[in-house]
Structure 1
Amino acid sequence: MGYKVAVVGATGNVGREMLNILEELEFPVDEMHAVASRKSKGVEVSWGDRTIKCEDIELFDFSTVDLVLMSAGGDASRAWSEKIGKAGPIVIDNSSAFRMDPDVPLIVPEVNPDAIKLATKKNIIANPNCSTAQLVVALKPLHDAAKIKRAVVSTYQSVSGAGKAGMDELWNQTKAIYGLGDAKPKKFPKQIAFNVIPFIGSFRDDGYTDEEAKMWDETHKMIDPAIKLTVTCV
């Protein structure tokens, strides 16, 4: 028996990839719904060998599905995830909105699968920042064996984390450097083509960025708050 699944944010890059991965994994789906904002109602997205039309999040009846994958950004998650959870389905939230909520488990299956027991409080499961997810998979067995005291971490992240605007800027600047256009930055503070920028997100009062803070906060929640982390995100 399969599940009734809704992907919220189905027209975005991540939402479309979620649909692709569910198909590749042959995840048992009886019904698949693509859900997005009203402006995307009727937009077609691929699901397996067919296309499905996006439904309006304002009108969709979430009580009719078992599982909701949220990938519409933090603002949308804060506005909708708890409402959806109260309607009955389990929400797997891909944003940062609920990661540090004490009533929401933050889970990487290879690291802390038992935390799923907490999901019944709000019917929400959070997944961590992409860099944290990779980090904790490496740290957990080491910590179990020897207790990690400190970790120094540097990440070199793709522009796709900034969405379509970030990817377009990299593409356009790459062309411009070869004489085919304007390389002036718009999305990023400096030229990103053939370059690295040593911060992601917004700077905090302590000199770290919020992207860097996510990595230690989420690692502490999933593994051990006693681990000291020094993080640089590029």
Structure 2
Amino acid sequence: MKKKYVIALVGATGNVGREVLNYLASRNFPVKQIIALASENSVGRQVSFGDDTLKVNLMKGFDFSGIDIAFFCAGSEVSRKYAKEAVSKGCIVIDKSSLFRLDDNVPLVVPEANLQVLKNFKAGIIANPNCCTIPLSVVLKPLDNAVKIKRVVISTYQSVSGAGKLAMDELYKQTKAKFVFENLDSRVFPKQIAFNLFPHIGEFREDGSTDEEYKIQEELKKIIGNHINSTVTCVRVPVFVSHAMSVNIEFEDRMGADEAEELLYEADGVVVHSLENEMKYATPIDTVENDDVFVSRIRNDTSKVNCINMWICADNLRKGAALNAVQIAEELIKN
């Protein structure tokens, strides 16, 4: 008889939490019982799980005894308070926050890129990478396997859903207000997001970079290897869902656009659009509610040898967050 698991979902009413529930149901994860948890503000609300609904319970004071796997989708502060407590009760934690990602004792996992780090995993915390690091790793790892990557220049164009539901509401309300010649102050973002964009995601660091840029640089090293050097600029754009990235990749040896395109055609979780396709490139709208990472505009960088450019798009709530976490859980239960 197939074993079934008791699951806890922390942050069940958020964007990512809801997507995790959708994936657990749609992918037929062997669930014996699932417990939805959130803050006091959400207690008593209901969330969908397949054809069923779950009543949201209070996170504070919850006893993780008897829980097999807990998905933490509620941010670093909640993970700091409760993740290790859950582990102490014998629970495996898959954490979506940035808190443990660069901890040497915590595996940071993208199943298509570095599944081997889970080989001897028994218990504890597994970190789910940044919403841009995940699709980048899916694309860069098969290329790096063929020819070592020397350097990556990345510019991200990130949708507001990466900042949560209130951020999506702010974009909607500011956009609506503009059509009746009104201006609404920004509460979630540092500047107006409607009909605008700004190169500012996360707090600024002493060297002038932001936390988001630092996360992507360091997480790529941990997932793919310390030999990868990268420089990143993160931009928030007035798009509701899905992140896009302009990526320039320099290889240590011979690699061209044609070879890279062939490698990515064979890569798991990747959809390639070449100039021969009817849809020559993917946009954020094309990738919403899609599980794959879309790659297009693969071309040689004529200014430098062994260097190519490409455009990457992915649904940040799906493969950039929830799907990756559920895939990690699926790999765990295989063992």
User: Would you say same fold, with TM above 0.5?
Assistant: yes
Q: Which whole-Å deviations, capped at 9, do the CAs of 1:153-178 have from their partners, x for residues lacking one? A: 11100011111221111001111110
Name 1:174's counterpart in structure 2: 175
Higher normalized strand content (fraction of residues):
2
1:22-171 equivalent positions in 2, closer than 5 A: 22-117=24-119, 119-120=121-122, 123-171=124-172
Give the CA deviation at 1:118.
5.9
1:95-120 deviations in whole A, cap 9, x for unaligned?
00100111100000001111114644
Between the aligned partners of 1:57 and 1:42, the Cα distance in structure 2 is 12
- CA distance in structure 1 between the aligned counterparts of 2:119 and 2:217, rounded to whole angstroms: 23
CA distance in 1 between partners of 2:140 and 2:164 (Å): 28
Please name the residue that 2:10 is paired with.
8
- For normalisation by structure 1, the TM-score amounts to 0.94
Give the distance between the partners of 1:192 and 1:45, measured in 2 at CA.
Answer: 29
Distance 1:138 1:123 in 2: 28
| Structure 1 residues 37 and 189, CA gap change in structure 2 (3 angstroms) | closer
Task: Number of aligned residue pairs: give it.
Answer: 233
Alignment correspondent of 2:205: 204
2:225 alignment partner AA:
D
Q: Give CA deviations for 1:78-130 in whole Å, capped at 9, x if unaligned.
A: 1111110111111000000100111100000001111114644x611001001
* Offset, 1:49: 1.3
User: Would the aligned equivalents of 1:104 and 1:118 in 2 still touch at CA under 8 Å?
Assistant: no
Q: CA deviation at 1:43?
A: 2.0
Task: Give me the whole-angstrom Cα distance separating, in 2, the residues matched to 1:93 and 1:232.
Answer: 25
8 Å contact kept, 1:90–1:124: yes
SS state of the match for residue 180, structure 2? helix
More helix by share: 1
Identity percentage of aligned residues: 53
d(CA) in 1 for partners of 2:186, 2:13? 26
Letter in 2 for 1:107: V
SS at match of 1:102: coil
1:190 aligns to what? 191
Q: CA deviation at 1:149?
A: 0.5
Distance 1:168 1:39, change over 3 A: closer
**Distance change >3 Å, CA 172–CA 142, structure 1 → 2:** same
> Normalising by the residue count of structure 2, what TM-score does the alignment of the two structures yield?
0.67
Amino acid aligned to 1:95: S
For structure 2, list consecutive stretches of 5 or more residues without a partner in the other structure: 236-335
- Could you tell me which amino acid in structure 2 is paired with residue 131 of structure 1? C
Deviation at 1:224, TM superposition (A): 1.1
RMSD: 1.5
- SS at 2:65's partner residue? helix
Aligned-residue offset at 1:37: 2.4
Tell me, yes or no, if the aligned pair for 1:104 and 1:119 is still in contact at 8 Å: no
Q: Highest relative contact order (Cα 8 Å, sep 6+), 1 or 2?
A: 2
The amino acid of 1:158's aligned partner reads S
Q: List, as ranges, runs of 4+ consecutive aligned residues in structure 1 with deviation greater than 4 Å.
A: none
Measure, in 2, the Cα distance between the counterparts of 1:96 and 1:56.
Answer: 23
Alpha-carbon distance between aligned partners in 2 of 1:78 and 1:38, rounded to the nearest angstrom? 18
Deviation at 1:180, TM superposition (A): 6.0
Checking the alignment, whether the CA contact within 8 Å between 1:7 and 1:70 is kept in structure 2 is yes
- More deviation, 172-181/4-13: 172-181
Secondary structure of 1:91 counterpart: strand
User: How many angstroms does 1:148 deviate by?
Assistant: 0.5
